[in-house]
Amino acid sequence: MDVSLDLSGRHALVVGTARAARRIVARYRAGGAVVVLVSAGDACARLGRVAAGTDATPPALVVWVDGRQALREVLAEHASRLRIWFVTEQGAPELPRGQVTLVGGGPGDTDLMTVAGRRALAEADVVLFDRLAPQELMAQWAPGAEFIDVGKTPGHHAVPQGEIESLMVDHALRGNRVVRLKGGDPFVFGRGGEEVLACRRAGVPVTVVPGVTSAISVPAAAGIPVTHRDVSRAFTVISGHTPFTEEELAHLVGLGGTIVVLMGVNTLPHLAAGLQRHGMATDMPLAIIERGYSIAQRTTVTSVGGVTPLLATVAPRSPAVIVIGEVVRVAAWDDGRNAESHDLVRTIADLAP
């Protein structure tokens, strides 16, 4: 039997836990009902008040989702005596507890967080977050969570990696849903792989939600495509954290295509000199994009040969993504994104493609 009731303006008493009843509550609300979510015990008390005539807004129906089974019979009988509809609905299963989700938070713009990441945060009990994780709306996205700042500033490991892993595992073993929120993608220089292994070793279920990596998105925020037909058919993402060997530099130059450097501000002079030593053209364009997606985003354009003189006048700071390659010339410099906050320094005379 398929019955549809007009519930607009009717009071509905939904019995169950917030998690189990969430969708059901939403459905009845969408149908126009005025919904109150209560425990089975509170529902009995409420019907008691209805029977006594002291309830100002007697419910038109009681929706049983879950609660103590013994009370279900009592409630159903009570409701029937009061001529209140009694409906039983299948609640959402309780999620398995005690787990870790590594979430890639993207490059900092809240719009670039994934739906899957938002879902993990919505259900999180504990959130361990990094300096580059999108923090702006975190409290809103994870309303039920305790927040732990494990952020590192370059050169200063606020919380050592081993300790972050222990914190993550310990919270999960205590039955919490832990979200490890990182900037960009967890597996791009994010030590996500190590954290997954730490969970596996401890027998903690772990999943990874990829994120929008700064390696591609921060150049894009400055209008630079990392590949471009007939200009670059490869891009290599490297970490500038520790200097490259001569052999690696030779391979980088030999491959051609675009080079994207993360964590590369401090070692940039060394890298630029090394690339030229191995034959990269001195006038190869190079862009430094600092603080991508923030109101203080700044793009500085030079060439590999121009790095040293440039650093004497502009002092780029981390976080920054460096792009080396002909694609820099393709950039749509009039990208229009918050133009006032873009301080575009052009040190190449003609960047037109």
Catalytic residues: 130, 152, 263
Select the residue interacting with ligand SAH from 7, 100, 188, 268 (CB under 6 A). Answer: 188
Binding-site member from 226, 263, 272, 331 for ligand SAH (CB under 6 A): 263
Residue 27 backbone dihedrals phi, psi, to 5 degrees: -65, -45
Name the amino acid, one letter, at 173. L
- Judged by CB under 6 A, the residue of 86, 129, 244, 293 near ligand SAH is 293
Near ligand SAH in 213-252, by CB under 6 A: 213-215, 218
Give the span between the Cα atoms of 258 and 280, in whole angstroms.
Answer: 12
- With beta carbons less than 8 A apart as the criterion, state whether 101 and 52 touch: no
Distance CA 330, CA 223 (A): 8
Q: Which of 14, 63, 262, 310 binds ligand SAH (CB under 6 A)?
A: 262
CB contact set of 93 (below 8 Å; sequence gap of 6+) = 20
Task: Report yes or no: 99 and 206 within 8 Å, Cβ to Cβ.
Answer: yes
Give the Cα separation of 121 and 133 in Å (integer): 13
Identify residues 83-142 at the interface with ligand SAH (CB under 6 A).
107-108, 132
When binding is defined by CB under 6 A, the residue of 134, 184, 223, 305 that contacts ligand SAH is 184
318 makes contact with ligand SAH (CB under 6 A): yes
Residue with Cβ nearer ligand SAH (53 or 155): 155
- Whole-number minimum distance, CB 101 to ligand SAH, in Å? 16
Q: Which residues pair with 260 in a beta bridge?
A: 237, 323
Give the distance, in angstroms, between the CA of residue 215 and the centroid of all CA atoms in the same chain. Answer: 16
**Residue count, binding to ligand SAH (CB under 6 A):** 23
Q: Which residue ranges make up the site for ligand SAH (CB under 6 A)?
A: 107-108, 132, 182-185, 188-190, 213-215, 218, 262-263, 291-293, 318-321
